[in-house]
Amino acid sequence: MVDLKLSEYFNDIYSVNEGIPEFEMLVNGEWINSDKKQDVVSSLDGSVIGRISVANHDNIDSMVNHAVEAQKEIEKMSLIDRIELLNKVKSEVISKKDELVNIIMIEAGKPKSAAEGEITTLIRRLELSEQDLYSLKGEFIPGDLAQDTVGRSAVLVRKPIGVVLGISPFNYPVYTSANKIIPAILGGNSIIIKPPSADPIALLALAEIFRKAGMPKGVLQVVTGSGSSTGDYLIENNQINMISFTGSTEVGEHITNVAGIKKLHMELGGKAPAIILKDADLDLAAKECVKGSLSLSGQRCDAISRILVVEDIYSKFVEKLKEHMSDFKMGNPIEDNSVNMGPLINKKSAERIDSMVKDAISKGCNLVQGGKYNNCYYEPTLLTDVTKDSIIANEETFGPVVTVIKVKDIDDAIEVSNNSKYGLDGCVFTNNISEAFKVMDRVKVGNMSLNVAPSHGTSNFPFGGIKYSGEGKEGIGKSIEEMTVVKTLIFDLSSFGLGKEYSGKFN
């Protein structure tokens, strides 16, 4: 059994009951308990590593009320104070990096390199947070551009949207949450974060870092519990001004149906195509496609979910894929440091992936490698000659399967790519710049990459999907735009004797 041990720094966020740590919720700057608990199970071995408090309606009402009041205070805080607060958080994250990495490895089953990558990316995001503020600059509009506003001028400024509800996924429980918290606070909002129930502990630890760094009470609060009860009650609350959700398309649709009138920022599922054209560097393309399909056991919205290979090079490319499948070793990363592909988040996910693989096999694909699982561990799997009517060719995989589909030519590849309800990421591999531009221009996704697998990283490049992959853009400078609203300030300068006059003599 894995054992989750925390340093004294985090003593306030939990108590121990019968040898199991029971974690509390952050409400108005204080850690509070609830009567109902929910187990947190490590996907590494199925052991219970902790319990979280399940918020009731009274807890949630209290959080929202505190958030409304706290937002008024954070809006008054100068931008330089907000930046210096985040710099202090960054210093604390650096000092607690190893501990945060260990928590992520234990509760999410991530390999050490992936867990370290998540915290390193968080540190870089905090370092770059000052760049968000460039998006808060205003705009001047002269009134004498139109007859009816001659003598007036306007200034556009960005104001906080209010109370933000952030809902985060299990695959990047710390970074994705921080990628909502940082722009919300910089924009002068308060934020309530709901971490994933599967692996919430690392985010609770990050919230304690924010608290000890001096975050004003109520500006950042953390609610825990199941999405069906806790989440829905929050989503429906009319004092919540915006929901920033990262997760599945199915849950995103549910949120859209129950949220009511409020701003929705959605980063949903994907079915990223990788298009391999005949003049591509096949070794580079194969390496990137395997990495893009198998990293984090394929549990990424920007994972390569289908590889479309033109028939002229199909056989050669499949051989290259076979060579690079050995780049990934599955196992328990706590027991073996050489493991770079851990378990899926739970056994239900493994069973779902297995049903998709079996469906593809029943429809005529070739199972070249893998296709077996044990509890949460699903083998790196290579499927070739996948038919276009199979489930795995159309639905988000979110598992460690390299799915290869043969296409006739570049036009067929574009058509197959666009024949999907998803539109988040995609990539193309070619050394022909005109064909590269054609594919990147015509494939209907929010983000296209050339000769590299999709990756969102520190969000330096904005990202966000179309169709059933979401709405709105995330990233440095873009998330803060989503979390603020434009206010128009109109000045009648004629009352001061300063405004221009309309002559009408040329009309």
Residue 375 is given by DSSP the state: T
The residue behind tokens 């649709």 is 253
Residue 331: name the closest of 34, 157, 111 by CA.
111
CB 23 within 8 A of CB 224: yes
Is 267 known to be catalytic?
Answer: yes
DSSP E strands in 187-289: the ranges are 190-194, 220-222, 242-246, 263-267, 272-276
- DSSP H helices, 56-111, are 57-76, 79-95, 97-108
Please report the DSSP string for 113-134 in residue order.
HHHHHHHHHHHHHHHTGGGGGG
> What is the β-pairing status of strands 48-53 and 20-23?
parallel
Query: Rounded CA gap, 250 and 450, in Å?
Result: 29
Q: How many C-beta atoms surround the C-beta of residue 35 within 10 A?
A: 7
CB 47 within 8 A of CB 56: no
Query: Rounded CA gap, 399 and 293, in Å?
Result: 8
Within its chain, how far is the Cα of 205 from the centroid? Answer: 19
Within its chain, how far is the Cα of 486 from the centroid? Answer: 25
**Amino acid identity of 335?**
E
Is 319 known to be catalytic?
Answer: no
**Amino acid identity of 26?**
L
CB 326 within 8 A of CB 371: no
Catalytic residue among 301, 365, 376, 427, which? 301
Catalytic residue among 267, 288, 395, 396, which? 267
Altogether, the residues listed in the chain come to a count of: 507
Q: Which residues are catalytically annotated?
A: 267, 301
